[in-house]
Amino acid sequence: MRYFDIPFSNDLTVFFAFAFGVVLFLVLLSEKLRRKAKVFISKHFYKHKHDYREAWLKFTYKLSLCKTLHDVHMAVLTTYREAFGLKGASLYLFARGKNRYILAAQLSMSDAPIDFQPSASLISDCIDRDIIVNTCAKEFSPRSEEAFFLQQIEAQLIVPLIFNRKIEGFVIFKKQLVNEDFTFEDYDLIKTLAKQAAQSIVNYKLSEELIETREVAAVAKVSSFVLHDIKNLTYSLSLILNNAETLINTPEFQNDMLDSLRNTVSKMKHLIQKLKTIPEKQTLNIGLADIDILAREVIADIVKMSPAADIVYDGSSALASVDVEEIKKVILNLVVNAIDASGDEGTITIGTATDSQSVCLTVRDNGCGMTDDFLQNHLFKPFRTTKEKGLGIGLYQCRQIIQAHGGIIEAESVLGKGTVLAVHLPVTEKTAYAFHKV
């Protein structure tokens, strides 16, 4: 105040001196204030013990090299061990099924117990007060089980890995190679690394869960396709069985039955062979074929097994580069769906045609039709169906096959009047390319 030529009285001097004395007295009496003062002085008036930037970059680099969750665990322990000269360290992660913390990894702590069950008070202190537990500190009073656990592994620090106010795990520090007191700067670095470690562990766990979920979904999807193909084959066998009760003694039926059984067995073998290649991509066996002939063959097989079906065919030669078996599967799905939608009294009209741009196959029925909402938002999507016992796979599978050929499939429908499905395939021969229905 003298330097800036600010006038002040003796009374003001006494007041400031008295106020400063009171503050100093409170600091000396309060342990909490003393600790805060020490932290402030250590942070701002002494040379930094750690280079936070270097430590963070080094830890980040180690995490970037990790390929598995176990690699992350070891990176966390290695970083702590190198930064603080520890004799060993162990990592315990929370196991939801067991409701306790299970040993996930350890460095030079082969005697570490399999699990660690901290008390509720310890967990509460770690979350609410954001502390690192020093087992040698007077304020820490472990339960008998905790004391035995910490004594068994010679633990010095308990570092919580907190993410979103939940303790995902604990890093247990063994004593240091050279005993030295942990400073406030040490604790700050430990907390910084712990936050990054917790986030990395959670991210990797979520990634593994996502991969596992996708694998389960892929298996379920494959199962649905297989089940749908088996359902079509079973449909043919059931028609044979129904007609056999009255026509078994007819020579023509016997010949047709043997041909159909032989064809069904061949398709089942082909399906089993495909299952062996999953999840490998399948390559279309492309060749020039007449869609008209393929449609007639499929219709002939259906009529043999279901003579009551009213199918009207009006087609002409239509050449395209296709996988014969896959396209026959499409035709079969479309016709069977039309029969199911039309019922016993319905009529199915099938036609083939070609122009300069595409080969077209149409399947028309006068059945129940579909609503505009289902047509726009659900058709061609897996597991969406209007049938009571349907799987919702057939049309989705058809679209996958048609798209793999470079074509498109379109639908028009009026509720209560019927549906028209049109398949458009390229006229020009295209190079075979991999496609996968799953």
Q: Is the dihedral of CA 135, 137, 139, 144 positive or negative?
A: positive
Domain covering 281-435, topology: Heat Shock Protein 90 (3.30.565)
| CA–CA distances in Å: residue 186 to residues 106, 191, 209 | 21, 9, 34
Distance CA 179, CA 166 (A): 31
- Could you tell me which residues come within 8 angstroms of residue 251 by beta carbon, excluding any fewer than 6 positions away? none
- Could you tell me which residues come within 8 angstroms of residue 329 by beta carbon, excluding any fewer than 6 positions away? 229, 397, 398, 401
pLDDT at 217: 66
Place of tokens 């028609």: 239
Report which residue type is found at 262. R
Distance CA 387, CA 391 (A): 8
Report which residue type is found at 29. L
- The tokens describing 195, both together, are 């936050």
Contact 143, 116 (CB under 8 A): no
What is the rounded radius of gyration, in angstroms, for the C-alpha atoms of the chain? 38
- The tokens describing 167, both together, are 């303790």
Q: What is the mean pLDDT of the chain?
A: 80
Nearest of 387, 390, 241 to residue 306 by alpha carbon? 241
> Exposed, middle or buried: residue 223 (CB in 10 Å: 0-12, 13-18, 19+)?
exposed
Report which residue type is found at 153. I
Fold agreement (52-210, 281-435): no
Tell me the backbone φ, ψ of residue 155, rounded to 5 degrees.
-75, 140
For the segment 188-216, what is each residue's pLDDT rounded down to a tens digit? 889 989 999 999 999 888 887 777 677 55
pLDDT at 280: 46
Provide the 3-class DSSP secondary structure of residue 351. strand
Task: Name beta bridge partners: 160.
Answer: 170
For the segment 362-420, what is each residue's pLDDT rounded down to a tens digit? 999 988 888 888 887 778 776 666 665 555 667 888 888 898 888 899 989 888 888 99
pLDDT at 19: 87
Place of tokens 């047509």: 375
Nearest of 390, 396, 427 to residue 411 by alpha carbon? 396
**Which parts of the chain sit beneath pLDDT 70?**
1-4, 6, 8, 27, 31-50, 97, 138-139, 212, 215-228, 270-282, 344, 382-393, 428-438
Distance CA 66, CA 78 (A): 13
Length of the chain: 438
Going by DSSP bridges, is the β-strand pair 282-283/434-435 parallel, antiparallel, or unpaired? antiparallel
Nearest of 128, 125, 107 to residue 171 by alpha carbon? 107
Contact 282, 312 (CB under 8 A): no
| CA–CA distances in Å: residue 95 to residues 115, 207, 211, 393 | 10, 17, 19, 38
Helix (H) / strand (E) containing 91: strand 89-95
Task: Name beta bridge partners: 353.
Answer: 360
| Helix 69-84 vs helix 184-247: crossing angle, to nearest 10 | 170
* In the chain, domain spans: 10-44, 52-210, 281-435
Nearest of 315, 327, 322, 324 to residue 352 by alpha carbon? 315
CATH match for 52-210 among 3.40.50.2300, 2.60.40.10, 3.30.450.40, 3.40.630.70? 3.30.450.40
First to last CA, the chain: 81
